[in-house]
Structure 1
Amino acid sequence: MKNIDKYLQDIDNYIHSSNYEDAFSLCNNILDNIDINNTEAIFKAGYCAYKLERYDIAMINFLKALSLDKSNINKAMYKYYMGRCYDIFNSLEDSLECFKSAYKLDKSNHYYALWLGITYAKIGANDYNYNLALLYLYKAFGIEDSLLYKYAGYCHMQLKSYSKAIEFLEKSMLLKKDDYLTRYYLGYTYFSVHIYDKALEHLSESLKLKDDEFNSWLSIGILYKIIDEEVLSEECLDKARNIALNYSDNIDYQLECFIKLSEAEENEYLNYLYLGICYAKLESYKNAVHYLLESIEINEKYSSDNNYLAYYWIGYINYIDSEYEEAVKYLEKSIKLNNDEENYLILFWLGDSYFRLSNYKKALVNLQKSLDLKEDEIETYKLIAKTYLELGDKDKYNEYITQYKILSRKENIKIIKNNDQLKR
């Protein structure tokens, strides 16, 4: 490979025809065999990796190009694409810094202003950020991009400038009809100005485009309630609640969802139940108990469902807080209501609570039930052994403590093997 300009032209041709794999390979051939520091090949390798959704590799190349290139125009471009990668990673603060740098280096490129505005809009949270977003979005006017009008509309929606929001969101929709968020923002804005037929139209279209979006189902559920379509409202809010339950890997967002649902449906005990569980998982136990008790009260007033799950979590919270008498009271209630699906953990907590209250016979009964459900649980053997020791039964103590030591040894061997495999 001697004629580097020819190969760079070939790379451009591959990129132009969206053949990013071959373009990426050719970039790496140049860097491996001709010039390891060729900034054009480095950047284009990063660009191809970006288009191929290999964002970590893209970032490595953009950073390397940034360290080698002296041109401010080029540096701005590298920073811009780094910002786009951070945006995909949802690392908005890092993304913002990159777009700021790109814009500072080259104010003539409208896309740098556009993405600076978009990022401020995504960070949002207060009027200052939305107004700052609009400042940069307005600087980007001149490019016909649906994102420009979408986020300008979104910022105006957040600032309650609803007529402006509708104007920009309608323009965005004309450029990109299949964007569910634009439709949702339009629906929400029309809802805010009480034009319910238009709101229903756009919210329904948003759900056709993406049917697992919590806010769309919530909004349309509230809208149906306002226009006295109670059955449809309940169906939509049930759908929103089931979607919220799927966010178990993002408890903060799940909590936000159930706060909104509890405000939309004041007499639905499930909203308060799951709100309490979210607070429990976040270790905000006072709030958790408040909403769990609220769910029990509402459920007993309006529903025939039992409260075993609320009692379960209140019992767990009291167990964690070393309030063993209260733990026993609520855990027993939970088991009584849900006897068909005994959980080895709840029986362990109950057994441990009785042990700490010196009720060793009840401790043994529950610990043995827990062991029957999960016979390899190490801590259960240990606690049963301690209970027999308190009762003065040394033979039983030796039997269970021996089993505890055997299982502990096996677990340690397994951990060592796993660590060895990771090292290899």
Structure 2
Amino acid sequence: MATLIYRGEAYFNHGHYNKAFSDLEKVLEQYDKDLYNLGMSLEIKSNYTNALILQAKICFNLEKYSDTIQFLSKDFEIDPKNKIILTLREGAYFYLNQYNYAIKDLNQVLEIEQSNATVIFLRGEVFYCLGCFHEAFVDFNEALKIEPNNIDMLILRGEAYLNLEHYYNAHSDFNKVLEILPTNVTTLMFQSKIYLSLGLQEDLLACMNKILDIEPNNPYALFCLSEIWFRLEQYNNVLNDLSESLRIEPDFVSALILRGTAYFSLRKYDKVHEDFSKVFEIESNNETTVKYLLDVFNGLDFTSMKHFMIKSSKKFEINNIAAIMLCGEEYYIRGQFDYSLLYFNKVLEINPNDKTALILSAKIFFNLKRYENAFRYLNEIIKAEPDNDIALFYRSEANFKLGRHKESHLNTEKLAKILEIEFNNAFILYNADINFKLRQFNKAISDLDIAINLKPNDIEMLILRGKTYFFLEKYDLALFDFIKALESDPNNIFILLYINEIFDKPLLLKNSIFINFDIEVYKYNILLHYQKLDESLNAYGNYILGHCYCSGIGVEKNERKVIGVEKDEKKAFEYFKKSAEMGDDKGIIDVGHCYKEGIGVEKDEKKAFEDEKLTRNLQ
């Protein structure tokens, strides 16, 4: 039996796990027979324990952690005080993320041997993985008190500090390691991460050079050095170091991405394409790769782009929806709809129900005024998602464009159902606009009532309902909506104009609802707000100012209220003239009227005639 164990151990040490396992199985078969032998010696028990431990180690090395635990638990029944069993089982629990069981085993070891630095440190690692950082560092510190120069422990504690961004403590641990072993490349790499995080480029460069003195062909050190050159915009140095790194490790994705980015900065787009295409082959879902491949499009003219797409088309034949979709969206943004449709159709071949591809395809045909084609995509969305407000919106508008007013109109019940799912004021505004065009004002108000109940302070809804009431000559209800909208946007001149029109209706002034409104102040505000408009750009604003000064809207002086200015026909003419010069047809008409009647300017029949002739041409 002992011979089998020794041979099994020899096989294990040479990595011949199957042969080792076979010998150990024979030992355990004999153990099962001897189990009922009351005279079984301690030596035999020890042999069986060792056989189980070896089997567990084989499973551990093969990453069969559940089997490892099974063998060790059986062994634990024979020898519950065995530190090797407990420590090895803890390792299996650790890799299975069963941290509480791992801590339990380590605690049992520490009951047997309280000052075991390795076990204390291992427990600290488990606490760290659980996020119990205080307990972790208590154990790390305790272990290093016992073994202050243990390089592995110092590196691991330094790494833990580094991950928590405690750079000073991490640097201190790494420095101590380098005092003991100056050529430890792992420690130098960790130090370089500290310098990189803190932006200490000179220290980082010195650290990288140390690593390369020790290991001239270290691809990761060459990569880190390239990052420094990249930050300094020394792209030729970047390319030299990364090319060497990739010669050593050709599939080093981070190096390929950085080199591709450097080529991009140098506008060497073919080289960008080569590097990122290779990344795409290695990691087809790498979003950085897709982004740069799309950015390359922006550096190419249209002819070069078509050539580029032919070169890269094979890369996008794979079933990567995210990549294909991004390409389609890029062409959509560029307005190159034929290309974008090719990509969207490819997406729909892979996933016929992809909502984004369906919506964008429908929008393309809508923009091209090919409404029947748009229906095909919109109907697919609505079939899968009957209450999709975007699809319903576009289908409704497409019907309206085709003159199918009845089909384009969504009833109030349907609209209410959509709104329960997602509030969309653009949708309601459009639906209300259809009702306006159909002269169905009451239906418009019905829809808007639902919307305003859901969103009482929505200014667009309030204005639209106010306008609807205004058309129905329900001026009192219109006024309430306009006043509420004005609370949210006190500088909205269009609201003030509607209020002014309501106040200009003399019969209404006797209505009790106007008693609490200071009409003169509202009219004066109209003038003030229009004076704030950029007169050099806003033709309509100049026309309104002219109208205010000519008709006395907001300009009648009231000494008691300290508002207003004198009515001024000359200013009125100046504003009408500015408006006319900027092409406003109403301004042209009023300039002609001023010349004809001598308002703010001397009468001039010839100029009046010219303006009248220009007005007729505009009509």
**Superposition TM-score, scaled by structure 1 size:** 0.52
- Amino acid aligned to 2:203: K
Please name the residue that 1:159 is paired with: 198
In the alignment, structure 1 residue 297 sits paired with structure 2 residue 333:
yes
* Deviation sequence 1:167-189 (CA, Å, 0-9, x none): 32344455566754333212212
* Unaligned residue ranges in structure 2 (runs of 5+): 1-40, 310-315, 349-353, 400-619
Please name the residue that 2:95 is paired with: 55
Is 1:221–1:237's contact at 8 Å kept on the other side of the alignment? yes
Please name the residue that 1:34 is paired with: 79
Please name the residue that 2:231 is paired with: 192
In the alignment, structure 1 residue 114 sits paired with structure 2 residue 155:
yes
* Deviation sequence 1:271-314 (CA, Å, 0-9, x none): xxx9xx97xx9xxxxxx9xx9866533474xx98335657989x
Is 1:39–1:65's contact at 8 Å kept on the other side of the alignment? no
Matches of 2:276 and 2:344, distance apart in 1: 21
In the alignment, structure 1 residue 220 sits paired with structure 2 residue 259:
yes
1:23 to 1:355, Cα distance in 2 relative to 1, 3 A:
closer
Is 1:14–1:20's contact at 8 Å kept on the other side of the alignment? no
Match of 1:138 among 175, 178, 196: 175
Is 2:53–2:72's contact at 8 Å kept on the other side of the alignment? no
Matches of 2:57 and 2:216, distance apart in 1: 26
1:77 to 1:166, Cα distance in 2 relative to 1, 3 A:
same
Q: Cα offset for 1:221?
A: 1.4
Is 2:328–2:341's contact at 8 Å kept on the other side of the alignment? no
Please name the residue that 1:367 is paired with: none
1:10 to 1:133, Cα distance in 2 relative to 1, 3 A:
same
Is 1:76–1:105's contact at 8 Å kept on the other side of the alignment? yes
Is 2:260–2:275's contact at 8 Å kept on the other side of the alignment? yes
- Amino acid aligned to 2:239: L
Is 1:11–1:23's contact at 8 Å kept on the other side of the alignment? no
Matches of 1:318 and 1:10, distance apart in 2: 61
2:220 is paired with a residue of what secondary structure? helix
In the alignment, structure 1 residue 77 sits paired with structure 2 residue 116:
no
- Amino acid aligned to 1:66: L
1:305 is paired with a residue of what secondary structure? helix
Is 2:331–2:340's contact at 8 Å kept on the other side of the alignment? no
- Amino acid aligned to 1:154: K
1:246 is paired with a residue of what secondary structure? coil
1:331 to 1:76, Cα distance in 2 relative to 1, 3 A:
farther
Match of 1:43 among 79, 87, 90: 87
- Amino acid aligned to 1:38: N
Please name the residue that 1:105 is paired with: 142
* Deviation sequence 1:146-199 (CA, Å, 0-9, x none): 221111112212322223223323444555667543332122123334554543
Please name the residue that 1:401 is paired with: none
Q: Cα offset for 1:220?
A: 0.5
Q: Cα offset for 1:114?
A: 1.4
* Unaligned residue ranges in structure 1 (runs of 5+): 87-92, 248-253, 282-287, 363-424
| Alignment root-mean-square deviation, CA | 5.6
Q: Cα offset for 1:137?
A: 2.3
Is 1:308–1:333's contact at 8 Å kept on the other side of the alignment? no
Matches of 1:130 and 1:151, distance apart in 2: 10
Identity of aligned residues (%): 13
Tell me the matched-pair count.
Answer: 314
1:261 to 1:150, Cα distance in 2 relative to 1, 3 A:
farther
Match of 1:65 among 80, 100, 105: 105
Match of 1:233 among 255, 267, 272: 272
1:140 is paired with a residue of what secondary structure? helix
**Superposition TM-score, scaled by structure 2 size:** 0.38
